[in-house]
Homo-oligomer: A and B are copies of this chain.
Amino acid sequence: MALTIDFENAARKRLDGLAKPRGSLGQLENLAVTLARIQQSDRIATRPRRLVLFAGDHGVVDSGVSAWPSAVTTLMIATIVGGGAASSVLARETDTDLRIIDVGSLDSTPSDPPGFYRDARVRRGTRNLAQEAALTVAEFDAAWAVGADEAKAASQAGFRIVTAGEMGIGNTTPAACLTMLIAGAPLDQAVGRGAGAGDEVMATKRRVVAAAVEGEADREIKTAIAALCGLEIAAMAGFFANAATLGLVILLDGYVTTAAALIAEQLSPGTARAMIAGHQSAEPGHKSALDFLGLEPLLRFDMRLGEGTGALTAMPLLDAAAAIFNQMASLEEVGVARRD
Contact = CB atoms under 8 A, between A and B. Distances in A.
B303 A85 contact: no
A269 interface: no
Contacts of A112: none
A284 to B, nearest CB: 14
A24 B305 contact: yes
A76 B334 contact: yes
A268 B93 CA distance: 36
A18 B93 CA distance: 17
Contacts of A313: 28, 317, 320
Contact of A27 (B302, B316, B317, B319): B302
A323 B309 CA distance: 12
Nearest to A330: B84
A187 interface: no
A22 interface: yes
A90 B320 contact: yes
B320 A312 contact: yes
B21 A324 contact: no
Contacts of A334: 75-76, 78-79, 84
Contacts of A22: 196
A310 to B, nearest CB: 9
A303 B301 CA distance: 19
A203 interface: no
A153 interface: no
Contacts of A89: 323-324, 327-328
Interface in A61-107: 67-68, 72, 75-76, 78-79, 82, 84-86, 89-90, 92-94
B24 A196 contact: yes
A137 interface: no
Interface in A250-296: 282
A335 B25 CA distance: 46
Given A282-B26, A302-B26, A303-B25, A85 B195 contact: no
A339 interface: yes
A304 interface: yes
Contact of A329 (B79, B90, B317): B79
Interface in A191-205: 195-196
A335 to B, nearest CB: 6
B20 A86 contact: yes
A324 B84 CA distance: 9
Contact of A68 (B67, B82, B299, B339): B339
A220 interface: no
Contacts of A26: 282, 301-304
A340 interface: yes
A19 interface: yes
A218 interface: no
16 contacts: A19-B84, A20-B305, A24-B196, A24-B303, A24-B305, A25-B86, A28-B313, A68-B336, A68-B339, A76-B334, A90-B324, A93-B320, A196-B340, A316-B316, A316-B319, A316-B320
Interface of A: 18-22, 24-28, 67-68, 72, 75-76, 78-79, 82, 84-86, 89-90, 92-94, 195-196, 282, 299-305, 309, 312-313, 316-317, 319-320, 323-324, 327-329, 333-336, 339-340
